Every structure is written in structure tokens, then in C-alpha cells.
Amino acid sequence: MSTVLNSTRQWQDEDRDHHLHPFTDINVLKKKGARMITRGEGVYLWDSEGEKIIDGMAGLWCVGLGYGRKELSAAAARQMDQLAYYNTFFQTSTMPATELSGLLAEVTPEGFNHVFYGCSGSESNDTVVRLVWRYWDMRGKPGKKTIIGRINGYHGSTLAGASLGGMGFMHAQGPLPLPGFVHIEQPHWYVNGGDLSPAEYGLKAARALEEKIAELGAETIGAFIGEPIQGAGGVIVPPETYWPEIERICRANDILLISDEVICGFGRTGNWFGCETFGFEPDIMTMAKGMSSGYAPISGVMVKDHIVETIGDGGEFAHGYTYSGHPVSCAVALANITILKDEKIIDIVRTDTGPYFQKRLGEFADHPLIGEVRGKGLVGAVQIARDKKSRALFDDVGRVGGICRDHCFENGLIMRASGDSMLLSPPLVVTRAEIDEMMDKARMCLDLTARDVGLS
Ligand SMILES: *Cc1c(COP(=O)(O)O)cnc(C)c1O
């Protein structure tokens, strides 16, 4: 026992002394020490104390195939031995980068035939901004440079990603967003819908885009970007009326429509891409996370043919990353997507595990702490509310979610808190029995939280 404890302490001390963590309060971490995750298998993780944890979040929404898939590690090892690195600049390519491009054209919706690679969702959203600007220059409309996103949207943490996103707490630490990035209301019925039905509210939320375009002038707007379902913002599932209306408004105003598929892509909602689930056709899609199940860093921007042709007429597109199309990451993504196809994992999510997950999640609608249950496929959230009837939230949003998250942590379940929403997004290979285990633990943690805040 004591040697285990000692070694965890040593790791924590070393980490505290030298490692700056993303989205972390440095001083809080110094007191608590990091939890050291040491091993993963399927939907389970183990920490350095030997505790077994069920991962309800698939890492950061990315580990679709679960941990420990040997086909993926073997693909990486094979590629490293054969050709660990070469770039895709200056008219060169590698076999994995080329083969993956063809496979992506096959699995993405009609009209998407080209991909531009990066290593993260944030990087690829920077690429999106560069592509949009270049496209409108080539179309002879250089004034169309402003991009509209949404309050509480998340598009990454680089300067462009944070500007596209609408996270107030991130903007507060900049001068952010950068000029040329504006935001409209998020389609969050529970909080903003008032007396409207979800369907009515979906149209109203979409028409905020029309109003913003009228205010700024369509001749200044290049694109609108949104996640089909907002992930980090709290798994905000828009009403069904929302996306078709957004698409109509973009077409009517000659504005590019960008779907940030970093979370929804590669099966999360029961189809290959979230835009298919919600029935709209974007011009550009950003993909990352599930593309390689997180086993290697890779991301991509899928670009519709008409944009490729327009930009192609402009000579060199002066943009790219040293690791664009990294052969090892591409080999891993190829193996990942091949398994998704061969094992029909997305069909299983759509017809079996997704509906079962939503049914079990829906049982929380009766819980005294829960105001709303939202989700699609294998992603979902329960909204903590102070008063179910009036839909009133707790005043200090985030406090009760934090209490619940701590109970999950103590009880071997990873569930993420976003404000006062508790989120689940398990690996796509999760079984019904594992869903039951997650839901039973989640119920116990919600019960403990309800007791703590006097709502049980
Ligand atoms: C995670 C995420 C990003 C950013 O991806 P990184 O790989 O963390 O840079 C962008 N968009 C969405 C929707 C995301 O969830």
C-alpha cells in the first residue's frame, strides 16, 4: 500500500512542480494534486491507486473505439517503422495521407471530396477562417470577412477558435473575440425558450441569424459556424426546426454554412455526421476528436467542391502545418474509420445502444434535481434546476454541477459538468450493461448531490 501511495505522491509532486494544465486553476491543482491515469481498456480507466473508473466521457469526447484497441497501436507502429514522418507541402504526399483522404470523401456527405489536415479541432477551425476569407476574396467580395458564431458555442482555444466560440469566460481573458467575429443567441430552449414550444423557439433562435445579418449587412458576412449539438456548452440539442431554418437563411444571404463536427462527427449522434442527423448540408465541416478515437492527434476540414474550385483559381493557398497529414496519425485514423465501418458501430449506435442510452438517461426526468434531459445517439445531458416547474436554475450556476462532478469522481464515474448540466458521451462501443453501470452510478451521484443541496 504505502509504496503505491508514495509513488502517486511523487508523481503528483513532480506534476505540480512542472506541469501547467489546460483549463485548470493552478492553485487548486497544487492543493489537490492531479489524478494520475495509468491504463485503459474498453470503457474503463485505472488510476495510479488502482481505482477502476468507468469513462462516461470517452476521454474528451474522442475515444470512440474505447481504450486498448490493438489494431490502432499496430497501425501506428507499422507506419512509424516504415516512414515516421514526411510532410505534405510542396507537391508531396504519403500513402496514409492519400488513402485517408479517399476514405473521408467516401464516408462524408455528398459533395465533400477534399480534406485539409491539421492536428486539432482548434487548428482546423483556424484553417476554416483562412479558407472562408480566401474564398470571398476569390469571389471578388473581399468585404465578406465577418464570421457569425453563437454564445456558448465552443470551437477551440487558439485565437481564432476562441473567437469563433462564444465562451464568455474565455473572452474575458483576452481582448477576445478578435475583430470580425460576432455571436448570436444559442438555441437553448430550456433557458431561453420562455412560453414558446421547442419548435417555435427553434425558428426564433434561427431568426436571430437573420436579424444579425440585417444589422451588419450581408455584404460583410462570410460564414456562420455552429456545432450540430453544442458539446462543451452543455450538450445543447437544438429543436428540430432550428438547422433547416439556419440553412435557409445562409442560402438566402449567400453566406457559407460551417458545421463544426469535432464532437458529432464519426458516429456520436448515430449517423456519420451530425448534419445528417439534423438534416442540413454545410459547405465546410471541421472534424477532429473521433477521427482517430484520440489515439493520435489529427483533424481535418472537409471542403465542398465549389469552394475547392474557387480557391484553386487563386494560385497557392498560403497556409499549412508541419504536421498536416502526418503519416502516423493518418494511419491510425484509417484503422479507426475502417473498424467503425467493418464492425458497423455507427449502425449499432443508431439502432441499439443510442436508443437504449437515451431511454436510460430519460429516466432522470423524474429526479428532484433534474429539470431537463437532452441527447441524441450516445451523447446526453441532464440539466440541474432549482425549480422544475418554473425552469429556474440555481443562482450561482456551476456550483451544484461541481458538487455532482466531485461525487462522480469519488465514485469511479467520469461525468463532466458544464455549468449545471451533467454530461455523458461514452465510447461508441459501450454495451447495454456498461450503460446500466454508468446510469446507476450517475443516479447515486445525483441523489448525493440532491441531498447536499436539500432537494431530495
Ligand atoms: C474540442 C472541440 C474543438 C477543439 O478541438 P481541439 O482538438 O481541442 O483543439 C473544436 N470544436 C468543437 C466542437 C470541440 O468540441
Strand order across the 299-304 sheet: 112-118, 299-304, 284-287, 256-260, 221-226, 146-150, 181-184
**Do residues 289 and 305 share a domain?**
yes
Secondary structure (H, E, C), the chain: CHHHHHHHHHHHHHHHHHCCCCCCCHHHHHHHCCCCEEEEEECEEEECCCCEEEECCHHHHCCCCCECCHHHHHHHHHHHHHHCCCCCCCCCCCHHHHHHHHHHHHHCCCCEEEEEEECCHHHHHHHHHHHHHHHHHHCCCCCCCEEEEECCCCCCCCHHHHHHCCCHHHHCCCCCCCCCEEEECCCCHHHHCCCCCHHHHHHHHHHHHHHHHHHHCHHHEEEEEECCCECCCCCECCCCCHHHHHHHHHHHCCCEEEEECCCCCCCCCCCCCHHHHHCCCCCEEEECHHHCCCCCCCEEEEEEHHHHHHHHCCCCCCCCCCCCCCHHHHHHHHHHHHHHHHCCHHHHHHHHHHHHHHHHHHHHHHCCCEEEEEEECCEEEEEECCECCCCECCCCCCHHHHHHHHHHHHCCEECEEECCEEEECCCCCCCHHHHHHHHHHHHHHHHHHHHHCCCC
- Establish if 410 belongs to a structural domain: yes
**Do residues 135 and 220 share a domain?**
yes
**Do residues 323 and 395 share a domain?**
no
Nearest CA to ligand 1 atom 10: 155
Binding-site residues, ligand 1, Cβ < 6 A: 120-122, 125, 154-156, 227, 231-232, 260, 262-263, 288
* Residue-number span of the structural domain to which 77 is assigned: 71-342
Q: Report the largest interatomic distance among the alpha carbons of the chain, rounded to a whole angstrom.
A: 70
pTM beyond 0.75: the answer is: yes
**Which atom of ligand 1 is nearest to 122's Cα?**
9
**Do residues 251 and 396 share a domain?**
no
- Establish if 431 belongs to a structural domain: yes
**232 Cα–ligand 1 center, Å:** 9
**60 Cα–ligand 1 center, Å:** 9
**Do residues 271 and 351 share a domain?**
no
Give the CATH number for residue 384.
3.90.1150.10
**57 Cα–ligand 1 center, Å:** 14
Q: Which residues of the chain have pLDDT under 50?
A: 1-3
Quick one: pLDDT at residue 5? 53
Q: Give 226: exposed, middle or buried? Use CB within 10 Å, 0-12, 13-18, 19+.
A: buried
The residue among 305, 323, 342 that closes a domain is 342
- Establish if 90 belongs to a structural domain: yes
Instruction: HSE, CB side, 13 Å, CA atoms: give it for residue 405.
Output: 17
**88 Cα–ligand 1 center, Å:** 23
**Do residues 134 and 281 share a domain?**
yes
**Do residues 62 and 183 share a domain?**
no
- Establish if 28 belongs to a structural domain: no
The residue among 286, 321, 342 that closes a domain is 342
- Establish if 170 belongs to a structural domain: yes
Nearest CA to ligand 1 atom 6: 121
- Establish if 1 belongs to a structural domain: no
Quick one: pLDDT at residue 190? 97
The residue among 313, 342, 371 that closes a domain is 342
**289 Cα–ligand 1 center, Å:** 7
**Do residues 58 and 91 share a domain?**
no
**Do residues 89 and 147 share a domain?**
yes
Nearest CA to ligand 1 atom 5: 121
**Do residues 392 and 284 share a domain?**
no
Nearest CA to ligand 1 atom 11: 155
Quick one: pLDDT at residue 455? 85
Task: Count the domains in the chain.
Answer: 2
**Do residues 399 and 255 share a domain?**
no
Other CB atoms within 10 Å distance of the CB of residue 52: 11
Task: Report the interhelical angle of 305-312 vs 121-138 (nearest 10°).
Answer: 60
**Do residues 49 and 83 share a domain?**
no
- Establish if 356 belongs to a structural domain: yes
- Establish if 2 belongs to a structural domain: no
